[in-house]
Structure 1
Amino acid sequence: MSDKLDDFVNDLQGRIFEETRAAYGELGFERWRNPLYQGAMQDAHGRARLKGTCGDTMQLFLKFEQGRVVSASYLTDGCGASTVCGSLAAEMAHGCTPEAIADITGETILELLGVFPEEDRHCAFLAAATLQEALSDYMRHTILDADSRIK
């Protein structure tokens, strides 16, 4: 009896993987299965938390050294699409200057993915908006720190 159940579960999982790979593309599928850069960052220089139109919450954390991102991570309470997009937004920020981060948009994330379901595209824009807000947080702190040193 357990062999039949195991066969059923394996078949079902295989079909889910095939459907997800077709919908998200290879990169999206890999990030869905093994998200990178997931987790909170206590010593972040810039951080943001936004809620998307779908109700998913995305958090993004940035750490800078010598004007470049040396570490980026994200958290989401959302669906697989939010996980994929948060992971890619954090990856794209690594090594970037603030100016380069400012150029990362939802479209940039979608272009990297290549294939993504129409109904999940908003997740790329949520990830990009959260990244931009984390950058703004970093810039606010940088300007405030510079102002306090001048006085």
Structure 2
Amino acid sequence: MSDNLDDLLSNIQQQCDDAAHDMFGKETSRWHNPTYARTMENPDSTGEVRGNCGDVIKIFLKIDNNTVSEASFFTTGCGPSIVSSDMVCELCMGKNIDAASEIDGEDILERLGGLPEDKTHCAHLASSAMQEALGNWMEKK
């Protein structure tokens, strides 16, 4: 009985992995284990957006000498929101404020290798949250 259950669970896991690969391509591992997913304590700035889909993305930044030294995110969203948020954090790390402010949804989609058409808005939500965090930091200065 346990061998049948193990086989069933293994089959379900494989189907989930295949679906994730179809959705995220090479970035499937980013969905399983995002590098930057955490709530940052004492950030220098934050930005939060809520999409029409209901997803919330919050970006946390540490900024030293006008350069993003640390970034993280929290999202209540789906897998594409997770990978998009993780990617925008990766893209902004080590960039000065001007360069980080130029990161947009298309940059995220390009680095991810795309997302399903009905999920591309997630990349734009992530970039909007980053832009808001940067804008909030600039307002403080």
Match of 1:102 in 2: 101
1:15 is displaced (CA, Å) by: 1.6
CA displacement at 1:43 relative to structure 2: 1.7
- Specify the code of the residue in structure 1 equivalent to 2:55: D
The number of residues matched between the two structures is 141
Does residue 1:132 correspond to 2:131, yes or no? yes
Please state how far the C-alpha of 1:46 moved relative to its aligned partner. Answer: 1.4
Ranges in structure 1 where 5+ consecutive residues have no aligned partner? 143-151
1:91 aligns with 2:86: no
Could you give the per-residue CA deviations for residues 82-111 of structure 1, whole angstroms, max 9, x where no partner exists? 111111111111101111111100111000
Task: Indicate the residue corresponding to 1:16 in structure 2.
Answer: 16
Instruction: Give distance in 2, aligned partners of 1:88 and 1:53.
Output: 21
Aligned-pair CA distance for 1:52: 0.7
* Distance (whole Å) between structure 2 residues aligned to residue 54 and residue 79 of structure 1: 10
Offset of residue 44 of structure 1: 1.1
In structure 1, what is the equivalent of residue 50 of structure 2? 51
Larger radius of gyration: 1
TM-score scaled by structure 2? 0.96
> What do the CA deviations read for 1:46-98 (whole angstroms, capped 9, x no partner)?
10111011001110011011121110000001111111111111111110111
* Letter of the structure 2 residue corresponding to residue 24 of structure 1: F
Supply the RMSD in Å over aligned alpha carbons.
0.9
TM-score, structure 1 length as denominator?
A: 0.90
Indicate the percent of aligned positions where both proteins have the same amino acid.
38
Give the structure 2 partner of residue 41 of structure 1.
40
Shift of 1:3: 1.1
Runs of at least 5 residues in structure 2 that lack an aligned partner in the other structure = none
CA distance in 1, matches of 2:116, 2:73: 21
SS at match of 1:86: helix
Shift of 1:23: 2.1
Partners of 1:139 and 1:115 lie apart in 2 by: 31
Secondary structure in 1 matching 2:43: coil
Find the aligned partners of 1:115 and 1:10 in 2 and give their Cα distance.
28
Secondary structure of the 2:61 match is: strand
Displacement over 4 Å in runs of 4+: none
Q: What is the SS of the residue equivalent to 1:96?
A: coil
